[in-house]
Structure 1
Amino acid sequence: MTDGRRSRSKYQRGLGWDLVCDSNKLKEMAQSIFMAGILIGGLVLGDLSDRFGRKPILTCSYLLLAASGSGAAFSPTLPIYTVFRFLCGCGISGITLSTTILSVEWVSTRMRAIKSISLGYFYTSGQFILPGLAYAIPQWRWLQLTVSIPFFAFFLLSWWLPESVRWMILSGRSSKALKTFRQVAAFNGKKEEGEALSLEEIKLNLQKEITLAKAKHSIADLFRTPTLRRVTSCLSLAWFSTGFAYYSLAMGVEEFGVNLYVLQLIFGGVDVPAKFITMVSISYLGRHTTEAVVLLLAGGCILSLIFVPSDLLTLRTALAVFGKGCLSSSFSCLFLYTSELYPTVIRQTGMGINNLWTRVGSMTAPLVKITGELKPFLPNVIFGTIALLGGSAALFLPETLNRPLPETVEDLENWSLQAKEPKQEPEAENASQRIPLQPCELDLGPN
C-alpha cells in the first residue's frame, strides 16, 4: 500500500463515518458542496457588499468562517459536516471578495497590479503553513479546529479596517467618507493634509464615478455589443478552465505516491516563482500572450500524465507541479486582465460573472474525478482538454498592455476598432515624412 493510500485510509477511519468502498464517493461530493458554498457566497455576499458596504460583509464573513469551521470539527454525522463546510465556503468567498474590492478601491491605479500579485503570496504562505500543521496535528477534528479559531481574532481585528471611501461617496455617506479620509491621513502621518480636505474636493475628484454610478446596468449589457460578447465568452471559458483544472491537481496530490506533506509544500512553493514570472510577463509580453501560454502549458501537462507510467513518480510529480504553477499564473493574470477588459460601468458585473464560472469549474472538478472509476485516464483527458480550450479562447481576447481603461461600452468598442488597424499608422507616418523632402530638390541648382 502506498503512502497516499495509507494517508487516505487513515483519514477515512478518523472520520468515523465509514467512507470506504461505494461510500468513498461521498468525500468527493462533500468537496463539491464546499465549492458550491463558495459559489453561492460570491453571488449573495457580493450583492450585499454593494448594499451595506465592504467592511460589514468582511467582518461577518470572518465570523461565519470561524463559527462554521469550528462547528465542522465537532460534526457528529457527514450531512451536518457538509452543511458546515458549505457555510465555510460562503465565508471564504465573502472574505476573498471584500478583501479584493477594498484593496482595489484604496490602492492607487499604478500599484494595483503589484498589490494583486502580493495578495496572492499570502495564499501561498497558507499553503506552506498547512502541511506543517497537518503533520503536527494528525487528528482531522483538532486540525479543523486549529485552523478555524484564528478567524475569531481576524473578526475582532476587522473592526479597525476603514470602509471604502469610494463606496461611501457613491452611497450618499459623504460626511462619513470625509471623516474616514482624515483618519487614514492621520494614520499615515499626514494629518495636516487630511484636515485640509473638503467634501467638495472629494466629490469633484469622484465626479465621473458618481455620474457613471447613476446609470443602471445589468448582466445583459455583457452581451450587448459584438466586442463584449466575444470578451465575455472567451473570459468565461478561461476562468472556468482555470478553476476546473486547478482543483483537479490540488485535490489529487495523494495520487502521485509522494509523501503527502512534502508534496503539499512543493505545490505551495511553485507559486512563488510562478507569480513572479507572471508579474514580469504581463508587464512586458502582455496579458493576452501570458494567459494563453500558461493555460496551454497546463493542459499539455495534464494530458501528458496519461502517457507517463504510474511507477515514474518523479516525472508525474514534476508534470503536476509545473501544471499547477501554470494554473496559479492563470489566476493571477485573469484577475488583472478581466478588470482591464471590462468598461467601468459594468466592470464589477463582469468580474462577478467570471468569478462565478471559476467556482462552477471548481465545483465540477470533484465530480469529474469520479469518472476515473470507469477509465483511470478519463479525468485527465477531460481536465487537460478543457484547459487547452481555455487557452485557445484567450487567443481571441484583445491586448490591454499600456492601454487606458475603458470607462463606457462605447470606449471599449472604439478601442477595439483602433486595435484592428495597427499597420496603417506606420504607412501614414512614412508618407508624411516624404512630403517635406520634395521641395528640397529645387534648391540644389546653385550648388
Structure 2
Amino acid sequence: MTKEGPPIELDVILKQLGAFGKFNIINYGLMLIPIFLAGMYGSVFVFEATDINYRCKIKECEGLNNSEWLVNAIPVKNDELAKCSRYSLKDNASSDESCNADAFDRTNQLKCDELVYSDEDSAVRDFNLGCQDWKRTLIGTVRNSGLFISLPLTGIISDRFGRKRALVMAALMSGIFGLARSFSVSYVMMLILEFFESALGGGINSTSFVLAVELVAPKGRVLGTTVLNLISTLGMMSLPAFSWWFQDWRKLLRIIYTPAILVFSYLWLLNESVRWLLSKGRNVEAAEILLKAAKMNNVDISEELNPLYKLEVKSDTQEVKKEEIDDDKAKVSTFKQVIRSRVIRTRVCMCSFLWITCTFVYYGLSINSVSLGGNKYMNFMLVSFMDIPGSILCLIVLDRFGRKKILSIFYIMSACLCICQSFVPEDPKWLSLALYLSGKLCIVVAYSSLYIYVSEVFPTSVRQSLLATCSSLGRVGSTLAPLTPLLALYSNNLPAILFGTLALVASGMVLILPETINMPLPDTIEAAEQLATRS
C-alpha cells in the first residue's frame, strides 16, 4: 500500500464485485431516501411564499353587501384587479353614493395603505408581504446563499471525517431547522431559519453523489448517478403535489422534514466509502467492507488482484496505527499542493462557472414556471418532470459520446431554446410551453453530466472538498435565480434571454477541459493533472 493513496487495483476489484450487486443496491437504496428529501427541500420556498391574490383595502366600501364597487375603486389590468393600487376618493363624495363610479377620482391612483388577502395559503398572507415582491423572492435568495457555507463545510467534514458522517449531519440539520421553520411567528424568523437550514444541511446531494461515484467501478458511475437524479426529480415533483394537497405551508414543512431526522440511523446502517478509507490509510476497515461486499454479491476476489485482502490478513494493530499516523502527516500539505497546481486551479475556476450556469438556468426555469399560465402546481410538476427524460438521456449518451461533447452540445441547445422561447408569441401557448420544457430538458442533461464530470477530474483526497468548492461557487447562480421573476416586471423576455446567453458562454468553455470517459478516478494530484494529456 503506497502513501499516495489507494492502489490502482481498486477499480479492478470494484469491477470484479460488479456494478450493482446486492451490496451496491442496499447502499444505493439507503442513499435514495435523503436524495428524495433533498429534491423537495431545494425548492420548498417556492410554495412556502407563493404569490397569491390580494387587493387594496377600501375602508369606505368594505361593509357593502355586494362587490360591484370594486371596479369603481380599483384599477383593472388585463381583466384583473390591480394588486397594489386604488383610486382616490373624491373630496366631495357623499356617504350615500355607495361607492359608485362618481365617488372615485379615476385620474388619481394611490398606493395601498392596507391589503385584503384571498383565502389562499402562503407566508405572503401570514406575514403581510403583499406588494413587496422583493421580500417574497428574498426568501429563496437567502436560502440559496446558505449553500455558500454548507457545501464547503460538508466537503471538509466529508474529506476529513468520512462521507457517511457528512451525509448524516446534513440530513439532521435540514430536519431540525426545517421543522423549526414551520413554527415561524415572523418574516425575520423565517428568513433566519431558512438560512441556517441550508447553511448547515445543504450538502445532502453533493455527499450522496460522491458516495455513489466512489461506490462503483467506472462503468457503473453514470447509471448510479442517473438513479440518484431520478429519485431527486421524484422528490421535486412530489413537492407541488404535497403543497396542492395540504394547502398549508406549515403542515407541508412538518410532513416533509420529519423523515430527515431518521437519517441519523445511517451511522450504523450505511457503509463508508472504501476509496475514502484507503485515502486515509484505514486499510483494514476498507478490506472488511470489500470482503463483506464480495460475500453479499457472491463474488470471489482473486488474491493476485487483491492486496487489500493480504493486508487485512497480515497487518497487526500496531502497523495499522503507524500507517494511519504517517498518512495523516502526508495529507497535511495535500490541499496546499492542490492550490499550487495551475492545472487544478484553472479547472476549479472553469468548473465553478459551468456550475453557476447550470444552477442559474435550472432553478431559474423551475422558479419561473409558476408564473406560466394555468395551474401553478401542474406547471411546476411538468417542468420538474423534464428531469426524468433528461437524466435518462444523460445515461444513454454520456458513456457513448463522452463528457465534453455532451456538455457543450446541450449547453448550446438550452441557450437556443431559451432565447427562441422569449420571442415566440403567447398564442399558441403550447408552442411557448414546448420550447420552455425543451430548454429545461437540455439544461438537465448538462447539469447531470456536470455532477459526474466534476467528480472525475479531481484527486480522491480532496475530491469532495473541490467538488463542494465548485458547487458552492456555482450557487451564485441558484442564489440569483429566485430574483429573476423581478426582471419579468420590466420585460417578460429578460429572464429567458439571460438564461440563454449564459449557457452559450458555458458551451465554449467546456471545450478547454479534459475528457474523462472510461478513465479511472485520479487518486493523486499528478494523476488528475495528467488527464489533460490524455484527452
Q: Shorter-normalised TM-score: what interval?
A: 0.7 to 0.9
2:483 match: 367
2:404 aligned residue (264, 268, 288) = 288
1:45 matched residue in structure 2:
154
| Match of residue 127 from structure 2 | 17
Distance in 2 (alpha carbons) for counterparts of 1:371 and 1:293: 28
Deviation for aligned residue 1:76: 0.6
How many Å separate the matches in 2 of 1:123 and 1:202? 43
2:385 equivalent to 1:269? yes
* One-letter amino acid matched to 2:257: S
Match of 2:40 in 1: none
TM-score relative to the length of structure 1: 0.80
Within 2, Cα distance between the matches of 1:154 and 1:77? 29
Deviations 1:99-158 (A, max 9, x none): 223223332333122111111111111133223212211111111111111222333355
Structure number with larger C-alpha Rg = 2
1:94 aligns with 2:94: no
Separation in structure 2 between the aligned mates of residue 272 and residue 202 of structure 1, nearest angstrom: 48
The residue that corresponds to 1:235 in the other structure is 351
Counterpart Cα distance in 1 of 2:129 and 2:337: 44
Structure 1: which amino acid aligns with 2:483? Answer: L
Cα distance change on mapping 1:177 and 1:218 into 2, 3 Å: closer
Report what 2:270 is aligned to.
Answer: 161
Q: Is the 8 A contact 2:423 2:493 kept in 1?
A: no
1:237-267: CA deviation from partner (whole Å, max 9, x where unpaired): 2111111111111111111112122222222
Q: Flag the structure with higher helix content.
A: 1
Aligned CA-pair RMSD: 3.4
Normalising by the residue count of structure 2, what TM-score does the alignment of the two structures yield? 0.68
Deviation at 1:193, TM superposition (A): 10
Q: Give the % identical residues.
A: 27
Match of 1:320 in 2: 436
Instruction: State the partner residue of 1:301.
Output: 417
Question: Does residue 81 of the first structure (1) align with residue 190 of the second (2)?
Answer: yes
Residue 49 of structure 1 deviates from its aligned partner by: 2.0
Cα distance between partner residues in 1 of 2:170 and 2:273: 17
Aligned partner letter, 1:48: I
Counterpart of 2:383, as a letter, is F
Alpha carbons of structure 1 residues 221 and 290: separation in structure 2 relative to 1, 3 Å:
same
CA distance in 2, matches of 1:223, 1:288: 25
Provide the rounded CA distance (Å) in 1 between the counterparts of 2:506 and 2:215: 32
Q: By how many angstroms is 1:363 displaced? A: 0.9
User: Which blocks of at least 5 consecutive residues in structure 1 are unaligned?
Assistant: 420-447
The CA deviation at 1:366 is 1.9
Deviations 1:184-231 (A, max 9, x none): 55555679999x94544799xxx9xx6996472337735733x54553
CA spacing shift, 1:104–1:382, aligned 2, 3 Å = same
Q: What residue identity is the alignment partner of 1:317? A: L
The farther-off stretch of 244-253 and 88-97 is: 88-97
Amino acid at match of 1:385: T
Secondary structure in 1 matching 2:146: helix
Whole-angstrom CA distance in 1 between matches of 2:300 and 2:269: 18
Q: Corresponding residue for 1:430?
A: none
* 2:421/2:432 contact within 8 Å kept: yes
Alpha-carbon distance between aligned partners in 1 of 2:133 and 2:210, rounded to the nearest angstrom: 39
Asked whether 1:135 is paired with 2:244, we answer yes
Paired residue for 1:217? 334
Structure 1 window deviating more from structure 2 (391-400 vs 35-44): it is: 391-400
Q: How far 1:91 moved relative to its partner?
A: 5.0
The answer (yes or no) to whether the contact 2:174–2:202 under 8 Å persists in 1 is no
Deviations 1:407-441 (A, max 9, x none): 5555555553465xxxxxxxxxxxxxxxxxxxxxx
Residue type at the aligned position of 2:162: G
For the 8 Å contact 2:152–2:465, the answer to whether it is kept is: no
State whether residues 151 and 469 of structure 2, in contact with CA within 8 Å, keep that contact through their aligned partners in structure 1: no
| 8 Å contact kept, 1:106–1:164 | yes
- Aligned residue for 2:356, secondary structure, equals helix
29-38 or 350-359: which moved more? Answer: 350-359
Aligned equivalents of 1:171, 1:403: Cα separation in 2: 23
What code does the residue aligned with 2:262 have?
Answer: A
Which residue identity lines up with residue 265 of structure 1 in the other structure? Answer: M
Amino acid at match of 2:476: V
> How many Å separate the matches in 2 of 1:44 and 1:161?
21
Whether the aligned pair in 1 keeps the contact of 2:418 and 2:499 (CA below 8 Å) is: yes
